[in-house]
Structure 1
Amino acid sequence: MQPRIQSNQANLNPNKKEWQVWWQLTRPHTLTASFVPVILGTVIAYEITPIKFDLFLAMLIASLLIQAATNMFNEYYDYKRGLDNEKSVGIGGTIVREGVHPKVILNLAITLIALSVLLGVYISMNSSWWVALVGSVSILIGYLYTGGPLPISSTPFGELLSGLFMGINIILISFYIQTGTITATSILVSIPTTILIGAINLSNNIRDLNGDKEHGRKTLPILVGRENAIKILAVAFLISYLWILALILFADLSPWLLVVFLSSPKAYQAVKKFIGKTIPIEMMPAMKATAQTNTYFGFLLSIGFIISYLF
């Protein structure tokens, strides 16, 4: 049974349909950080072995469930700590804007985690129980990102940990459950996506810099300043593209991987749309472009590998 919206206050957006409220609660623009690594890791594995589609689908759904649950924990704990209000910018703030009861969101997040664990058991039974251990650590990091006494989101390490556990971690698990091994190529190819997922987190923290500072957070943009944070974002994009070029030149990977450069205009847009902006609502297009860069980069890289297998 679908949980109903329970309200201790008036719904602040009565024109919004209920399914839209629940869809926004998953923060769909962040889900790219889950499915892109799974697809990429699986495509890389195809060079070694035929794809086991049951494991691919189980991994894809489990990753999406964990990401959605992490977003809901974020929603719940941001509300509990007073970080969200009806004027908050973005698609978070479902509790304060839509009147959804906090416990409903917390219970839904726990349910999604439970479902992901069941999928993880299936994956482990058909690959290795080491996957269960690594997956459990990933779930714990997802919770601790906003939960616990010292949330990761309040520290300068949010970008690093989100990139590692949603980038290289997911890519290598997706690769391993297909092939039963980890190769140097799978590790090297995972680096740019890891950086770009961290960039999504960085863009969010650039937007929220003023509000985070008021609540005593110590995020990377707060420590280095807005302008330097934007420069770091630009460097992250640059490294990601140059990394692929280096793999082609020095690791003997296919020139077809250059197709990823078709996504570079989005990276340029992301940086440009951040420059000179200080009001959160004005930075939403830059955040969207950052997430799109990761999506397009990952899909194009996967396409490059597929074409290289054919020719």
Structure 2
Amino acid sequence: MSEHLTAQTGFKKYYHLMRPHTLTASFVPVLVGTAAAKMFGDVRVDLLMVMLIACLLIQAATNMFNEYFDYKRGLDDHTSVGIGGAIVRNGMSPKSVYNLAVAFYIVAAILGLYICSQSSWLILIVGIVCMAVGYLYTGGPVPISWTPFGEIFAGFFMGFVIIMITFYIHTGHLSFYPAIMSIPVSINIGMINMANNIRDRIKDKASGRRTFVILVGKTIAIITMALLYLISFLVIFYVTFTKDYGSLFLLIVILSANLPIKAVRRFFAADQPLELMPAMKVTGQFNTIFGFLLAIGIYLSAITGI
């Protein structure tokens, strides 16, 4: 039996419930936002750590709500891949999954209050909106994940918004610099979502979902993914040679260029959900490595002035 369909017990079932391969979408923006803030002054380690934990909790809770609502709508069963499988394979009750998600949200909210107390209470409003989007992504009467806008919402809120919040709590102001550096991160996070939709397109279409992938088809979706990955690199090349914030250190992201190529090739080569899992895994790996390299490049630029 494939590891993606194997039942888990003990700690492992909770670990898989959080869908760890997606958590890159939460910590990469915090690292990039913090590195960008370093360009403008000192950063606080306590705010970095609290923001990191809060975002990880929100992302994990969003995945749990996804698990709960997809099960309730009859989308998931023991043959489903890419899910935590807590309910359909690991014996957890739907209520316990939902309650755990709420608990994660509560802890994240408490951490958010600390962040607000050290920066601005306006962050509270933005945080509430982000948490609401996380819930409504699969919850509510018209889940965002059932529309063609899932990738946009995921990229915007987990990429742009988190980077801007992180930058703001360290600097006390906003800037064009973190906004433009958020573009490739937002794209790469959105592509994790698109990878999920490419894998699940057959079952999603049967359930009535109208995702971007379903509307345009697999081939055009993969071509779109390839073009957006190219834009991610072009943005960095543009910033590298700008007068105010340019730095050759940013070109370190080129070291990750083989991964989007590998992902696109694997998506074209495979068709069934299990066959597509390796391709989807690469999209998460790319977001992680590109994000780390980008954060390192920005940080080196900040501390050297080069």
TM-score, length of structure 1 as denominator length: 0.94
Provide structure 2 residue ranges, at least 5 long, that are not aligned to the other structure.
none
Indicate the percent of aligned positions where both proteins have the same amino acid. Answer: 52
- Could you tell me which residue of structure 2 aligns to residue 244 of structure 1? 236
Paired residues of 1:44 and 1:186 also in contact (CA < 8 A):
yes
> Is residue 73 from structure 1 mapped to residue 65 from structure 2 by the alignment?
yes
Q: Find the aligned partners of 2:78 and 2:213 in 1 and give their Cα distance.
A: 24
Q: Find the aligned partners of 1:90 and 1:26 in 2 and give their Cα distance.
A: 11
- Could you tell me which residue of structure 1 aligns to residue 45 of structure 2? 53
Choose which of 14, 26, 43 in structure 1 pairs with 2:18: 26
- Could you tell me which residue of structure 1 aligns to residue 292 of structure 2? 299
> Is residue 277 from structure 1 mapped to residue 270 from structure 2 by the alignment?
yes
- Could you tell me which residue of structure 2 aligns to residue 103 of structure 1? 95
Paired residues of 2:146 and 2:211 also in contact (CA < 8 A):
yes
Which string of whole-angstrom CA distances, capped at 9 and with x for unpartnered residues, describes residues 220-246 of structure 1? 000000000000110111000011001
- Could you tell me which residue of structure 2 aligns to residue 3 of structure 1? none
Q: Find the aligned partners of 2:272 and 2:249 in 1 and give their Cα distance.
A: 40
- Could you tell me which residue of structure 2 aligns to residue 176 of structure 1? 168
Q: Find the aligned partners of 2:56 and 2:127 in 1 and give their Cα distance.
A: 13
Deviation at 1:247, TM superposition (A): 1.1
SS of corresponding position for 1:95: coil
Query: CA separation of 1:230/1:82 partners in 2, compared to 1, >3 Å: closer, same or farther?
Result: same
* 182-191 or 69-78: bigger deviation: 182-191
Alignment-mate amino acid for residue 246 of structure 1: Y
- Could you tell me which residue of structure 2 aligns to residue 217 of structure 1? 209
Deviation at 1:276, TM superposition (A): 3.3
Deviation at 1:91, TM superposition (A): 3.5
Q: Find the aligned partners of 2:76 and 2:205 in 1 and give their Cα distance.
A: 14
Paired residues of 1:79 and 1:93 also in contact (CA < 8 A):
no
1:191-270 to structure 2, matched below 5 A, reads 191-251=183-243, 252-270=245-263
Paired residues of 1:230 and 1:274 also in contact (CA < 8 A):
yes
Deviation at 1:52, TM superposition (A): 1.1
* 67-76 or 45-54: bigger deviation: 45-54
Alignment-mate amino acid for residue 296 of structure 2: I
Alignment-mate amino acid for residue 285 of structure 1: P
Alignment-mate amino acid for residue 17 of structure 1: T
Provide structure 1 residue ranges, at least 5 long, that are not aligned to the other structure.
1-11
- Could you tell me which residue of structure 2 aligns to residue 141 of structure 1? 133
Which string of whole-angstrom CA distances, capped at 9 and with x for unpartnered residues, describes residues 262-306 of structure 1? 011011111010003220000001101011111111100111122
Q: Higher relative contact order by CA 8 Å / sep ≥ 6: 1 or 2?
A: 2
SS of corresponding position for 2:87: helix
Q: Find the aligned partners of 1:306 and 1:146 in 2 and give their Cα distance.
A: 36
Q: Find the aligned partners of 1:212 and 1:92 in 2 and give their Cα distance.
A: 17
Deviation at 1:92, TM superposition (A): 2.9
The Cα RMSD (Å) is: 1.2
Which string of whole-angstrom CA distances, capped at 9 and with x for unpartnered residues, describes residues 142-197 of structure 1? 00000000000000000000000000100010000000011111111111101110
SS of corresponding position for 2:88: helix
Q: Find the aligned partners of 2:61 and 2:207 in 1 and give their Cα distance.
A: 24
